[in-house]
Amino acid sequence: MTKSHVHVLRSCTNKLTSKGGFQWPESGMVGCKDWNSNPVCGGGLHGWLRGVGNLFASPYTDPANHKWLVVRVLESDIVWVTENGGGKVKFPQGKVVFVGNLKEAVEKLATLEDIVNLPVIGKVHHTGKHGKSISGDYGHSTSGDTGKSTSGYCGKSTSGDYGKSTSGDYGKSTSGYCGKSTSGDYGQSTSGYRGHSTSGDYGQSTSGDYGQSISGSYRGHSTSGDYGQSTSEYRGQSISGDYGQSTSGYYGQSISGYRGNSTSGDYGQSISGYRGQSISGDRGQVKAGMEGLLILRAQSLGGKQLLLSGQIGKDALKPNVFYTSSKDFKSFKEV
């Protein structure tokens, strides 16, 4: 009876060493002397079965500066590690069939295993219209119109019109017309006309006309097209087009176009165009075009909400000039 084999992806230092100084060969059989079948780290050789698992289960995860191996293992020898969130397997011995960089290792793995629909670390996966594309951490995933594309940590995910594109932390996510695009913290997210785009903290989020664009708290940047809605949090910058609504957090800058609505928090800066409405919080600055409305909000020492408003062209307020409040919060003054 023929015994079934599977393939494991793993990484090492450039000298092919791993934890404890264990030396891996360039090719051929390799085994450990302290094997035990307990589902815990240690007591075996470790890796990701068919390339799927938790990237952070290994300390050697730099795609450029670490070696990546494909190891042939008896399927009956595979033990799933369950401690500390798992995300990897271990085995007593195997045969090294490939050593190289991450891209090459995944390409080799694809010739040995069916990984098309698996979120494999480092996989580059492209599908056509209506397709579904999945890659794991560091991977690149692309699908066509109305498709769905997903990649993991540091990945890049792109889908076509009406598609949905999602990538993990540090990733970049792009979708087309009417699509939805989401990326994690530090990521960049872009969607097309009528799209919806969301990115996490430090991220940049852009959507097309009629779209909605949201970026996470602290230093996010959010931009949407005409009629869109754009929101960013603390210290973010939020820009929307004509008729759009733009909101940014504390210290943020918020800009909207013709007849738009622009709101920023305390110390923020809010700008709107012709007939727009511009609102900022305590010690903020507001600017609007012709016939625009300026609003400043604050809170008194007694907790009472204070409101100062005025219209461009009236109340001696000039268009496209920044205003803040007087010390007594009873009038506008030019900045």
10 Å CB burial of residue 30 (0-12, 13-18, 19+) is middle
Q: Is residue 127 domain-shared with residue 227, that is, in the same domain?
A: yes
Q: Is residue 250 domain-shared with residue 274, that is, in the same domain?
A: yes
Q: Is residue 90 domain-shared with residue 131, that is, in the same domain?
A: no
Q: Is residue 220 domain-shared with residue 251, that is, in the same domain?
A: no
Q: Is residue 151 domain-shared with residue 223, that is, in the same domain?
A: yes
User: Is 130 a domain residue?
Assistant: yes
User: Is 118 a domain residue?
Assistant: no
User: Is 144 a domain residue?
Assistant: yes
Strand 172-175 with 156-159, pairing: parallel
How many distinct structural domains can be found in the chain?
Answer: 3
Read off the pLDDT band of 55 (50, 70, 90).
confident
Q: Is residue 227 domain-shared with residue 127, that is, in the same domain?
A: yes
Calpha distance 287→73 (Å, rounded): 67
User: Is 236 a domain residue?
Assistant: no
Read off the pLDDT band of 34 (50, 70, 90).
very high
pTM of the shown model = 0.56
User: Is 253 a domain residue?
Assistant: yes
Q: Is residue 149 domain-shared with residue 191, that is, in the same domain?
A: yes
User: Is 323 a domain residue?
Assistant: yes
Domain edge (last residue) among 211, 231, 251: 231
Q: Is residue 301 domain-shared with residue 335, that is, in the same domain?
A: yes
User: Is 237 a domain residue?
Assistant: no
Give the residue with greater pLDDT, 319 vs 201.
Answer: 319
Domain edge (last residue) among 82, 112, 142: 112
3-state secondary structure the chain: CCCCEEEEEEEECCCCEEHHHEECCCCEEEECCCCCCCCCCCCCEEEEECCCCCHHHCCCCCCCCCEEEEEEEEHHHCEEECHHHCCEEEECEEEEEEEECHHHHHHHHHHHCCCCCCCCCCCEEECCCCCEEECCCCCEEEECCCCEEECCCCCEEEECCCCEEECCCCCEEEECCCCEEECCCCCEEEECCCCEEEECCCCEEECCCCCEEEECCCCCEEECCCCCEEECCCCCEEECCCCCEEECCCCCEEECCCCCEEEECCCCEEEECCCCEEEECCCCEEEECCCCEEEEEEECCCCCEEEEEEECCCCCCCCCCCEEECCCCCCEEEC
Domain edge (last residue) among 176, 204, 231: 231
Whether 177 has a pLDDT exceeding 80, the answer reads no
Calpha distance 49→67 (Å, rounded): 17
User: Is 117 a domain residue?
Assistant: no
Structural domain for 56, as ranges: 5-112
pLDDT tens per residue across span 126-167: 666 666 666 665 666 767 666 777 776 667 777 776 677 777
Query: Are 308 and 295 within 8 A, CB to CB?
Result: yes
Q: Is residue 134 domain-shared with residue 102, that is, in the same domain?
A: no
The pLDDT mean for the chain works out to: 82
Whether 286 has a pLDDT exceeding 80, the answer reads yes
Whether 4 has a pLDDT exceeding 90, the answer reads yes
Q: Is residue 292 domain-shared with residue 260, that is, in the same domain?
A: yes
Share of the chain above pLDDT 70, in %: 87
Whether 267 has a pLDDT exceeding 70, the answer reads yes
Q: Which pLDDT score, from 0 to 100, does residue 252 have?
A: 78
Calpha distance 160→6 (Å, rounded): 34
Q: Is residue 96 domain-shared with residue 23, that is, in the same domain?
A: yes
